Structure 1
């Protein structure tokens, strides 16, 4: 009961921070039986919250022991029965690594009870462009569990990939992908001499396939821009009210393919690679200067469609405006207070979302209590109840309204800019299509090369 209550609270908190959370592969996660979820760790406390809110079955979380120093987090750790691990680098803060024997035993007990346990093998949250080296703890828990269990016992390991658009920005997007499940018992039978290192490598391979990993921050920008152009050319912009969840798996496939192609070009035709990356950067710079996204390059410039767009969005905006305004007015003090505290407490990129979510947990109820109390002094009981009920509802309306209004403004601005200077759209779209054609040609060349190598074996 307590777990479900907190999960509902976290779901609301994530809804407030992220504009969109896309979930893929949920059907790959067994609904019962021992389950070990292993994930990359890119956004501190938000990572486990995404996992537990994406699944219906309860998940036991793991966390570093030093989190207990925060009274609020200590209460949550006790309420949710979080398993605490003591890291060697936290000894100065009271961590005792010798107690990890008990923590690993607790994980095995949860699995023996048919439960699910989530572990982050990197051991620390970070904002690096690639995965950090994996620790063997998760693999040792799995192998020890199978060694202690009855013959024929099963354990499923599911890799999890977490993605963030701009994790430090309010109303950005996030995504979670559950990968192909691994039957740990069957894997061990096929690898009888395997140790924790081998199973850890198997876990890392599964997570690497679900994440985008880059050598440098420069590569992050280059591949993101190239993939955005590829996606825009394949899928023209849809009406704002029909936007579908992002296909994270397809985007990752494209990025991995671009990485393969870049590696090949770097070895075989470095000058061509440099020229292609320069063209991508130049086009991105031109789009940024105009305030245009890659998909808006392919915006149809039809006057009839534009008129329909204006009428439809004007109707939506007018209907939603009063509730959104009321929600924004009532929640402005909360937002301003939370923003100031988050900025003061956040020193790394992976702190912003976590601080916003966790600080909001006490701040929102306190402000609500004060506001409802004031309303109770000024209004009759009936209207006080109506006011109290309106607070969470109008908060959601205000958030969704702001997202929709922002999309309307951006798209209308782009249409007007291209309507006044159609040559801009033609030139930029031609540049984009030429780049995408080169990327597709590179993909075809790479495929032919791979097939030739395979055929020669």
Structure 2
């Protein structure tokens, strides 16, 4: 059977397109594996809101640098062409790989004072993808950062979307899907991340009078994107307000989970944390606005409690054990037994992890920006970890094979990842045991400090519970008015 000429002799463009698709699939698979190793859990919230077809512009907050693109790109069932700084394209092999995977370079003003000359080219590259029914990912804040607060977004996403929709007379059907990323502790191995999708924004609805009031339309759409992104995360722009909310979460979030009436449907753990944290933030804002003097007095007492707890070096979960002598002693004894039994395997894992972990930490410290170190640590650790752990473990296996042969080295290979995970969790549990031991010392040797800390904690919890009831009554009254 004869094949058509086009199939027997595919064009160079077709070959490159096929190569790019294969590379994209391969890279996506590798990224999923790396994310699975680094993060304990990546949760998707309202993933059903992601359009399955048609042109889509994903607009996300940017708390995790390159990792944000990794997570979004592997969380949606379609290829996303991200816009990335031209700085990533300075190294020729990496530039080639990024282009094959559909990454679109942009020359920011901070990268090059002449950047405005190339922004139009970036827009055109995005337009080409969207006009073909594809998806583009963009981070409207423009920069990544260490804290979890949304920064003022730039107008680039709105300008791009409105310009393209205007070209097609409002008939293209372009939608913007806001994405909120919330990390539990992005700089820590085996932490968690929540990917929260919002309902798509129909760009055509913001086109009315675009020719005459272009600036106003861009401002309106940018405001809509910013408001949507704020609703997808816990947005606390004021530092003092953020400190109060974080402290209340440490004190009260677990209790709120046990008896809350906020959630109307079962949620995954990180989604539940987000919804309840937003409720705490809203209640704190209402309290500060309605009873400012009472809120300030509560904030001072909370600060006193946090200061005393920090002086004793106690995590809040161990503070609650100060009043539970029997449970605390049982916990210390059980974990001490675990420490003795698990020590041999943990030491075996530590010995093998020592060199690659040291390499990863050195790179994460040496080659990340001090102002955004937490944001850049995940992708630096993942990318370097592949080579550090892969190279070191390959060297270990080769040495064992040279000395003992295949049968023994095969069992050795199987033991490495298991012992590595056991050593990590062993270390985590031993740190918790140290906290419990410190609590036990305070319990028996510093009774005054224990009594004062417990008293402050009880007062704070009582005030939080009372404020919660008042806030619920206020919300109920507003809804029925």
TM-score by length of 2: 0.77
Deviates further, 38-47 or 155-164: 155-164
Pair 51,327 (structure 1): closer, same or farther in 2 beyond 3 Å: farther
Give the match for residue 120 of structure 2: 101
Aligned length: 442
Q: Equivalents in 1 of 2:345, 2:205: separation in Å?
A: 55
Pair 57,309 (structure 1): closer, same or farther in 2 beyond 3 Å: farther
Structure 1 residue 382, shift from structure 2 partner? 3.5
Is residue 88–residue 96 contact of structure 1 (8 Å, CA) maintained in 2? yes
- Root-mean-square deviation (CA, aligned residues, Å) is 3.8
Give the match for residue 103 of structure 2: 82
Pair 383,74 (structure 1): closer, same or farther in 2 beyond 3 Å: farther
For 1:67-146, what aligned pairs fall within 5 Å after superposition? 67-70=88-91, 73-91=94-112, 96-127=115-146, 130-146=149-165
Pick the aligned partner of 1:301 from 319, 324, 343. 324
For 1:21-100, what aligned pairs fall within 5 Å after superposition? 21-70=42-91, 73-91=94-112, 96-100=115-119
What do residues 24-56 of structure 1 show as CA deviations (whole Å, max 9, x unaligned)?
333433444433221111232222223234445
Pair 127,163 (structure 1): closer, same or farther in 2 beyond 3 Å: same
Is residue 17–residue 357 contact of structure 1 (8 Å, CA) maintained in 2? yes
Pick the aligned partner of 1:257 from 262, 279, 283. 283
Q: Equivalents in 2 of 1:13, 1:319: separation in Å?
A: 31
Structure 2 gap ranges (5+): 1-21, 259-267
Give the match for residue 378 of structure 1: 403
Pair 422,215 (structure 1): closer, same or farther in 2 beyond 3 Å: same
TM-score by length of 1: 0.80
Pair 215,421 (structure 1): closer, same or farther in 2 beyond 3 Å: same
For 1:377-416, what aligned pairs fall within 5 Å after superposition? 377-411=402-436, 413-414=438-439
Structure 1 gap ranges (5+): 237-242
- Is 1:340 aligned with 2:358? no
- Is 1:202 aligned with 2:224? yes
Pair 454,384 (structure 1): closer, same or farther in 2 beyond 3 Å: closer
Pair 152,336 (structure 1): closer, same or farther in 2 beyond 3 Å: same
Q: Equivalents in 2 of 1:199, 1:221: separation in Å?
A: 31
Is residue 233–residue 274 contact of structure 2 (8 Å, CA) maintained in 1? no
Q: Equivalents in 2 of 1:407, 1:8: separation in Å?
A: 35
Is residue 233–residue 295 contact of structure 1 (8 Å, CA) maintained in 2? no
What do residues 195-239 of structure 1 show as CA deviations (whole Å, max 9, x unaligned)?
222111101001112233444544433321123223144357xxx
Pair 409,324 (structure 1): closer, same or farther in 2 beyond 3 Å: same
Is residue 207–residue 217 contact of structure 2 (8 Å, CA) maintained in 1? no
Give the match for residue 189 of structure 2: 171
Is residue 233–residue 436 contact of structure 1 (8 Å, CA) maintained in 2? no
For 1:354-373, what aligned pairs fall within 5 Å after superposition? 354-373=379-398
Q: Equivalents in 2 of 1:111, 1:136: separation in Å?
A: 18
Q: Equivalents in 1 of 2:225, 2:63: separation in Å?
A: 17
Q: Equivalents in 1 of 2:79, 2:194: separation in Å?
A: 17
Pair 345,185 (structure 1): closer, same or farther in 2 beyond 3 Å: closer
Secondary structure of the equivalent of 1:91? coil
Q: Equivalents in 2 of 1:409, 1:72: separation in Å?
A: 47
Give the match for residue 227 of structure 1: 249
For 1:280-299, what aligned pairs fall within 5 Å after superposition? 280-299=302-321
Structure 1 residue 360, shift from structure 2 partner? 2.7
